[in-house]
Each structure stands twice: as C-alpha cells, then as structure tokens.
Amino acid sequence: MKQNSAGNLPDMSTRTIAFIGGGNMAGSLIGGLVADGYNATKIYASDTDSEKLASLSARFGIRSASDNLDAVKRSDVVVLAVKPQAMERVARDLADAIQYSRPLVISIAAGVREAHLRKWLGSDVALIRTMPNTPAMLQAGATVLHAGAGVSEQQKSIAETILRSVGLTCWVKEEALMDAVTALSGSGPAYFFLVMEAIERAGTELGLPPDIARLLTLQTALGAARMAMESSEGPATLRNYVTSPGGTTESALKRLEASGIREIFAQALRDAKERSEEISSMLGNT
C-alpha cells in the first residue's frame, strides 16, 4: 500500500526527525521510515518511559534524547506523538525551543486542533495536523493531513513522506473536515472489526467450527478489501458482480437493506463526528 519512500525525496535525507512520545504510532512511523531506508541515526525519540526508548533504539537503531527539549534542539522535524490529554503540557514546555529552532511540527494527536497547538506553541509555527489510523502499525494505514498557514510545499512533502511510510495519505484543505476523517478512517477499523465479529458469530451459529468461521471471515474480508482497492469499479458495482438475481447473496443483502444498514452506518458516523468535535473542544478549553 505504500506509495512513496524517504529515498524519493532527496531533501529528506538531510533532515533530522524527533518523535516526542514513543508509543505505538511513533514506533510504527519510525519502523516505516527505517524500512524505507531512512537513516536511523537521524531519528531521535523522547519519552518518559525509558523502557520504551530502549526498545525503540534496540529495534530500529535510532537515538534516544535525554528529554523532549534535547530532542527538539537536535531536529529539523518534530513529530508530536503524545496522548491528546498530555498535549497542552508538552507543547507549552516545548514552545520556547520550537520558537528558537523553527522546526516543522507534525501532530498525530487525535482531536487537538490547530488553533490550540498554535496557542501553546506559538502562532507562527510551521504546523501540520494529521489523523492516522491503527492499521499504520502494519504499514497499512490511512492518514489524512491538513497544513496550517505558512507551511511550504517542501514541508508538506516532508510530512507526506513520513506518513506515507505507514500507508496511503491524502490532504484536506479545511481543518473542520478532520472530525469527519476521525469518524470515518480514524474510528473505521473498529466498524469493520464489529462486522467481522458478527459474521464470524453467525457462521458458528450455522454450525461451522469456530476456527473455520474465523478463518473464512478474515480471508473474505481481506479478499473483498483487495478487490475494492485494486479495481477501477466502485463498491456498488463490485457488489452487483457477486449478487445473482434470486440467489443466496441477494437474499442476505435484502435482509441487511431491510434492517436499515445504510442509515445505521450514516448515523454511527454522525455520532462519531459529533463526539470528535466535543472532544476537540474539551481538549482546548483551557
């Protein structure tokens, strides 16, 4: 699924990247960059958990910074990878160092708006907000990016290269759309897990052994996703291809349609979007 690598952007080879926070998403991005051939010695990480840092250094050969300020001072690009609830404290602590060294700042914290980050870091920081999702841990993620005012095309390319190391990327011009992104792709893996869970359970209720029901469910989901990704046709057309008039698939789809499955998903995403907006407001209400 990866569409780019660090080697495809010559300017990237000279950049030093600092990850503030060493959790799963930071580890995924570091792993993706190193797998793409990025020089691990140009990657620093900082985290309050020394065991996390030791693990990242051992796995990828990156450097550990003594603290967040040390990481920022050494770097051209700063990736804020701390939990949203900790972002204000971390950002305020880093503000002076970021104002001094003027790095590109990339936030991967869900729900933390650009206005809040600028209030904590400084209004003139070069800032890109992103929303990756959990399949990034398998380098199969989907990340949406939004560039703040004053971000150059070169800086956008740098951010895109970093996030593309764990999957596909796309940009939105309006930051307000990030709440819809959170509802669709940010929370989206859980929706598919729920569908797989329901299908697997239904299969066992029809008499299939649990291990076979699970294997068939997962492989069918994987196959359908690959068909959709690799086809020029949309999902509706692909669905019609496997739905014979009067057949078993049509019978099942009629039941799903009659249950209002489309509106259920539409309302679920609306609820998720509204909750994302509420959380964003709470995170910046200081």
The predicted-structure confidence for 260-271, as pLDDT tens digits, reads as follows 999 999 999 999
122-126-130 Cα angle (round to 5):
105
Q: Domains of the chain (ranges plus CATH)? A: 6-178 (3.40.50.720), 188-278 (1.10.3730.10)
Structure-model confidence comparison of residues 23 and 9, the more confident one:
23
The predicted-structure confidence for 109-130, as pLDDT tens digits, reads as follows 999 999 999 999 999 999 999 9
The predicted-structure confidence for 184-215, as pLDDT tens digits, reads as follows 999 999 999 999 999 999 999 999 999 999 99
Please state the pTM of the whole predicted model.
0.90
Check residue 147 and report its DSSP letter. Answer: E
Give the span between the Cα atoms of 269 and 120, in whole angstroms.
30
Mean pLDDT of the chain: 93
pLDDT at residue 68, as a whole number: 94
Q: What is the DSSP string of 150-187?
A: T--HHHHHHHHHHHHTTEEEEE-S-GGGHHHHIIIIIS
Lookup: tokens for 53: 């840092």
Q: What is the distance in angstroms between the CA of the first residue and the CA of the last residue of the chain?
A: 40
